[in-house]
Amino acid sequence: MLRKVKEAVTKKKLLLYSGDAHPELAEEIAERLGVPLGETNLRQFANGEMHCRYGESIRGADVFIIQTHGGMPVNDALMQQLIMIDAAKRASAKRITAVCPYYGYARQDRKAEGREPITAKLVADMLTVAGADRVVSVDLHTGQIQGFFDKPVDHLTALPILIECCKGAGDPADLVIVSPDAGGVKAAKRLANHLGADLAFVNKIRPKGEANTVVAAIVVGNVRGKRCVLLDDMIDTAGTIVAAADLLMEHGATEVWAMATHGVLSDPATERLKNSVISKVVITNTLPLPPEKQIDKLEVLSIAPLVADAISAVFEDESVSEIFGGENQK
């Protein structure tokens, strides 16, 4: 009897589940891990309420619930993940990890004015209360969101993937990595250091009360005669990126690329990018890309290998930062 108990304790079981937001990414992660996606039996009632029932026993298992907060209404994606986490907790999962390639409400991470919510903290609280023991996410809008959790957070970065892509941009001596605002200079500097390229940033002005309106003001750094790579964590309506690209060309840049981890691409982003001076747009697949938003200058890189390796490290109780050489965790 004692031997059977010891065998049960040492036998670990990894189970992967996906919500409806981005099943293609979940399938890619599962294929890399060699683990099939489990059945969640998600369904929606006539009144819009959602229901989940796992198709197998998950008692004592290490459960990873993959759901990016996009590809469907963000509130639906988030609520669906919360329900899946709650179901796993009540089914006696040993440990539950919420894998959120794109973390919803990340931009509401502070009170910019009075009487505003800090919704990024609210999302962290909801994931924790639902039963998440750990969170894995990629390129949070600000690193401070990790501090909103009282649970471990594995904050991955797409930097290694973007570095490989930038190596095809030509001689580093002719390359400038540009942050579209002062807040992104740190990330741009890391990429520039890896490539041996120069660094610049755009000082932008956002008119008060206009959330998606940006006026690019000045360029700090020399971009004349250089190929510029604009680096941001996300492209939403593309107002910031396009305004920055126009300014860079006015200052003598020979070509402008845009790179971001998250391609939110809310309207009118696709039209703006298509008609802009930007010659190439690079994003990752943390969010699904519908056919109507696929344009010729857009290239999508897969984040699945990074997320799969992080899941493997968490399951094996290994250091995620050591697995990635300290480069893929912030």
SS (H, E, C) 83-137: HHHHHHHHCCCCEEEEEECCCCCCCCCCCCCCCCCCHHHHHHHHHHHHCCCEEEE
**How is residue 290 written in tokens?**
């519908």
Q: Is the pLDDT confidence value at 157 over 50? A: yes
Give me Rg for the CA atoms of the chain: 21
The mean pLDDT of 200-210, rounded to a whole number, is: 72
Confidence of residue 232 (pLDDT cuts 50, 70, 90): very high
Catalytic residues: 204
Domains, the chain: 2-158+305-323 (3.40.50.2020), 159-301 (3.40.50.2020)
Angle at 68 between CA 64 and CA 71, to 5 degrees: 140
pLDDT at 158 over 50: yes
Q: Which residues pair with 17 in a beta bridge?
A: 65
2 is written with which tokens?
């004692």
Q: What sign does the dihedral 26-320-323-258 (CA atoms) show? A: positive
Q: Write out pLDDT tens, residues 34-50.
A: 999 999 999 999 999 99
pTM of the model: 0.92
> Does the structure show a pLDDT above 60 at 7?
no
The per-residue DSSP string of 148-206 comes to G-SS-EEEE--HHHHHHHHGGG--GGGEEEEESSGGGHHHHHHHHHHHT-EEEEEEEE-
Residue 183 — very low, low, confident or very high, per pLDDT cuts 50/70/90? confident
User: Which residue matches tokens 């990894």?
Assistant: 14
Which residue reads 């120069």 in tokens? Answer: 198
Neighbour order of strands in the sheet with 134-138: 14-18, 62-66, 95-100, 134-138, 153-156
